């Protein structure tokens, strides 16, 4: 299965700014095997004319809950407790495993169509999300949400995680992490147990930390520490950790995150939408933290479109810091690609020989990309995701000329409508 | 020319929240002539099946400079003076009238494709923008940028405005305003002259006010007043005025704007991108100011996509005010439609009998609108503009099934490439 993308404008890694130029890209099996030079014995079974295409590494969504797409636009402009306990939790209580499968598939369709090829998920019903991921062709890291108090190795949620991991060991596109939900839903003994399992099994961690001021205030009242300190003290950072949100992290917290090699997944839309404010992204970067970008779930975003998220990330900190020279387009693009690949330990996120062939081709004839100007600025400030024409994941073409090849979208819409009716959603 | 859109989900005016439901919409000539009831003698020459469409009033872009699209992604992440004097002004110095025509046409194509049917423009070469607007089929209010010091009724820029107004008097889709650029480029006598002409000719005003802290600091140093006070004292507010930006307006300024019926066009992307911060939109609303939404030019945005802008507006103030209950989706949608129509004195911006038939139909099969949930929340938080399928302006179908009927886009791309090459732009 050799694919050759000829004469495409491509965004390659560079020093500081990205390196944008015309290239031929060779894909064999699951990997990028050549740039401009065809490897010995390479046979192209498909050639894609890249002349009117901008080829970028597939975007990596660093934090989401894909099963939540059914709750899109179900509860907006509400106080946080009304949102969570008045709408989201009552819907979640009615969810059946099959609902999570269809919800995850819908999120994945939206992601593929807007140029995301890999996502880091914290679901319920992890087996159903794995099932959807097998079908869509996406790359994913799944961490079933965990919560508890005791040092209990028989925890049923942990067992579900390990079972899904075993059952999907044959699928190279999927990896599994442990997903302790948050400091306020996991006791220190429980977190210690998670840390021990992670170390023994060589697994990474996916957790929410310091999403809101309330979380910090409650942590202080109960434990006289910050959420970051609480999680560190329970040993979580001994495993490779990606921490979502980190909106309320002070200078000392930021140093702790940097020292422990914790990656932060920032979620600008979700943080603003729920009234939690702005994560200190420039300050996290200054502290040396690896920052990556995520959408969060559709119930608090309400999209799974990383172009929308890149636009937000590139703009809001210029607003909060009163300078146009804060969080550049090049930095944002790294946070949506290579930084997240690094956080997840995956060989994707850049167009380089030896990395996985997760590639997104945008239509250079789109008005929003005319003229293109600086290509990376165009990705952050002009594109909306509708320009994505072709998507290759793990060396397979999953979308060609906006036709999605892996999912029956008509059936998907039918099932979503059926589920929404049952759940009392419009 | 009767058009009937059957069984469409439509966003109609409501009390507080919008009224979303299934309707038949009847268009005759340039107007909406019936909702659910066919007027006597109505004959449909075209019927559009609206079953899988969400029909909304066309979005109204309250502030832009359409000729600037060639400068998209030409100068980003730079200090303001490097941006303006290092890149933008040197390009503008090389612009020829024909360039402005093609640039404006490109902006208009991007706007139509993302659901905008009307825009409020402050151009150079106003005759060329009018020419592009005749061709694209959009509705527009044009105010040639004016600047000067003396009370000079023979000002050549003013003469250009009045000539374009005369020459396009036959085109109902176009109106003309006077466009004094900003307090810092117009002396008090010049502004007084503009005010006098506006009153005599029954014309409105389009002006930039209080875009940056620098502008306010300089105004204070030179005139010991705020930009709002300076403009008011020169008599500008005696004509119907739409003021772009108003980022740095204090409580007293906001009261002045409200008392004088000045509408404010807020431009969140541009204000953040140039490091100017966040306009006090919730405070302007609280003061009773009519707030509307614009993109600003592509050199400082870098898109002309009002869906992107609605998303920003709905999110950023929740972030700055630490509450999810600040600037709701319904309020944002009004700022992108009816508020702007009101500011411009145009009978558009809502689906109501007697208003102009400026209608946008979105594809309900798009993943980003699945499930739809609250339709107005979907417009603010989920849609990216790529869902726009059909566009009707002034009763004419200008886009059908994403095929643009009024502009030769291939020729447009060719001309833009030629101009960019001459200007030294990528």
Nearest CA to CA, how far is A235 from chain B (Å)? 32
> Rounded to an integer, what distance in angstroms lies between the CA atom of residue A51 and that of residue B274?
33
**Cis amide bond preceding A371, omega within 30:** yes
pLDDT tens per residue across span A316-366: 999 999 999 999 999 999 999 999 999 999 999 999 999 999 999 999 999
Picking from B111, B248, B369, B381 by the largest number of A CB atoms within 10 A of its own CB, the best residue to mutate is B381
* CATH class given for the domain over B59-344: alpha beta
| Greatest pairwise CA separation for chain B in angstroms | 66
pLDDT string in tens for chain A (426-residue length): 699 999 999 999 998 899 999 999 999 999 999 999 999 999 999 999 999 999 999 999 999 999 999 999 998 999 888 888 898 889 999 999 999 999 999 999 999 999 999 999 999 999 999 999 999 999 999 999 999 999 999 999 999 999 999 999 999 999 999 999 999 999 999 999 999 999 999 999 999 999 999 999 999 999 999 999 999 999 999 999 999 999 999 999 999 999 999 999 999 999 999 999 999 999 999 999 999 999 999 999 999 999 999 999 999 999 999 999 999 999 999 999 999 999 999 999 999 999 999 999 999 999 999 999 999 999 999 999 999 999 999 999 999 999 999 999 999 999 999 999 999 987
Give the dihedral sign, CA A394/A395/A401/A404: negative
Instruction: Name B246's Cβ contacts closer than 8 Å, sequence gap at least 6.
Output: B209, B210, B228, B253, B257, B264, B266, B279, B284
Give residue A374's Cα distance to chain centre.
25
**Cis amide bond preceding B302, omega within 30:** yes
Question: In this complex, do A78 and B311 lie within 8 Å of one another by their Cβ atoms?
Answer: no
Question: In this complex, do B325 and A381 lie within 8 Å of one another by their Cβ atoms?
Answer: no
Picking from A381, A391, A407 by the largest number of B CB atoms within 10 A of its own CB, the best residue to mutate is A381
Give the bridge partners for A209, in sequence order: A245
User: What is A2-57+348-404's CATH topology?
Assistant: Urease, subunit C; domain 1 (2.30.40)
Give the bridge partners for B382, in sequence order: none
Q: Which residue of B has its CA nearest to A247?
A: B319
Give the global pTM. 0.97
Question: In this complex, do B77 and A325 lie within 8 Å of one another by their Cβ atoms?
Answer: yes
Nearest CA to CA, how far is B1 from chain A (Å)? 30
pLDDT string in tens for chain B (426-residue length): 699 999 999 999 998 799 999 999 999 999 999 999 999 999 999 999 999 999 999 999 999 999 999 999 998 999 888 888 898 889 999 999 999 999 999 999 999 999 999 999 999 999 999 999 999 999 999 999 999 999 999 999 999 999 999 999 999 999 999 999 999 999 999 999 999 999 999 999 999 999 999 999 999 999 999 999 999 999 999 999 999 999 999 999 999 999 999 999 999 999 999 999 999 999 999 999 999 999 999 999 999 999 999 999 999 999 999 999 999 999 999 999 999 999 999 999 999 999 999 999 999 999 999 999 999 999 999 999 999 999 999 999 999 999 999 999 999 999 999 999 999 987
> Rounded to an integer, what distance in angstroms lies between the CA atom of residue B385 and that of residue B130?
25
Nearest CA to CA, how far is A345 from chain B (Å)? 29
Nearest CB neighbour to A73, from listed B69, B321, B382: B382
CB count within 10 Å of CB B357 equals 27
pLDDT of residue A81: 85
Domain boundaries, chain A: 2-57+348-404, 59-344
Question: Is B157:B100 a contact under the CB 8 Å cutoff?
Answer: no
* Whole-number CA gyration radius for chain A: 21
Q: Which has the closest alpha carbon to A273: B421, B300, B380? A: B380
Picking from A84, A386, A403 by the largest number of B CB atoms within 10 A of its own CB, the best residue to mutate is A386
Nearest CB neighbour to B385, from listed A312, A371, A386: A386
Q: Which residue of A has its CA nearest to B300?
A: A381
ipTM field: 0.97
Three-class HEC string of B12-58: ECCCCCCEEEEEEEEEECCEEEEECCCCCCCCCCEEEECCCEEEEEC
Residue A223 exposed, middle or buried by CB count within 10 Å (0-12, 13-18, 19+): middle
The count of CB pairs under 8 A between chains A and B is: 226
Q: Which two tokens stand for residue A386?
A: 């509708």
Question: Is B74:A373 a contact under the CB 8 Å cutoff?
Answer: yes
Superfamily (CATH) of domain B2-58+350-404: Urease, subunit C, domain 1 (2.30.40.10)
> Rounded to an integer, what distance in angstroms lies between the CA atom of residue A272 and that of residue A301?
9
Nearest CA to CA, how far is B155 from chain A (Å)? 34
Nearest CA to CA, how far is A276 from chain B (Å)? 6
- How many angstroms separate the Cα of A71 from the Cα of each of A277, A393, A417, B291, B313? 22, 27, 12, 30, 22
Which run of H or of E encompasses A145?
A: strand A145-146
Question: Is B312:B319 a contact under the CB 8 Å cutoff?
Answer: no
Question: In this complex, do B368 and A305 lie within 8 Å of one another by their Cβ atoms?
Answer: yes
**Which chain A residues are within 8 Å of B74, Cβ to Cβ?**
373-374
Question: In this complex, do A106 and B370 lie within 8 Å of one another by their Cβ atoms?
Answer: yes
């Amino acid at each position: 299965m050799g694919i050759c993308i000829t004469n495409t404008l491509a965004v390659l890694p560079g020093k500081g700014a990205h390196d944008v130029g015309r290239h031929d890209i060779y894909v064999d099996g699951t990997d990028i095997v050549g740039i401009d030079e065809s490897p010995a014995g390479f046979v192209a079974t498909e050639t894609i004319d890249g002349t009117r295409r901008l080829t970028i590494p597939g975007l990596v969504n660093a934090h989401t809950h894909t099963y939540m797409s059914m709750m899109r636009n179900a509860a907006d402009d509400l106080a946080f407790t009304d949102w969570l306990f008045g709408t989201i939790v009552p819907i979640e209580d009615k969810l059946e495993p099959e609902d999570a499968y269809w919800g995850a598939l819908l999120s994945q369709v939206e992601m593929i169509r807007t140029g995301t090829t890999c996502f880091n998920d914290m679901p319920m019903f992890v087996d159903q999300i794995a099932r959807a991921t097998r079908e869509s062709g996406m790359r994913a890291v799944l961490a079933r949400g965990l919560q508890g108090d005791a040092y209990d190795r028989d925890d049923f949620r942990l067992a579900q995680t390990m079972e899904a991991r075993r059952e999907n060991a044959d699928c190279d596109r999927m990896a599994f992490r442990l997903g302790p939900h948050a400091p306020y839903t996991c006791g220190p003994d429980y977190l210690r147990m998670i840390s021990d399992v992670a170390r023994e099994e060589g697994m990474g961690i996916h957790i929410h930390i310091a999403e809101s001021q309330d979380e910090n205030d409650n942590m202080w009242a109960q434990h006289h520490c910050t959420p970051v300190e609480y999680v560190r003290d329970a040993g979580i950072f001994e495993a490779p950790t990606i921490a979502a949100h980190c909106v309320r992290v002070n200078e000392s917290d930021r140093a702790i995150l940097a020292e422990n090699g914790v990656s932060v997944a920032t979620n600008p839309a979700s943080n603003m939408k729920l009234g939690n404010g702005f994560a200190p992204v420039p300050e996290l970067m200054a502290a040396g933290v690896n920052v990556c970008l995520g959408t969060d779930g559709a119930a608090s975003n309400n999209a799974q479109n990383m172009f929308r998220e890149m636009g937000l990330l590139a703009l809001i900190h210029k607003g909060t810091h009163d300078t146009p020279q804060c969080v550049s387009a090049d930095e944002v693009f790294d946070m949506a690609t290579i930084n997240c690949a690094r956080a997840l330990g995956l060989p994707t996120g850049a167009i380089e020989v030896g990395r996985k062939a997760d590639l997104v081709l945008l239509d250079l004839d789109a008005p929003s990309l005319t003229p293109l100007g600086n290509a990376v600025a165009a990705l952050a400030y002009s594109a909306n995701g509708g320009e994505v024409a072709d998507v290759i994941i793990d060396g397979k073409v999953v979308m060609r000329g906006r036709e999605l090849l892996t999912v029956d979208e008509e059936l998907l819409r039918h099932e979503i409508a059926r589920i929404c009716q049952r759940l009392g959603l419009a």
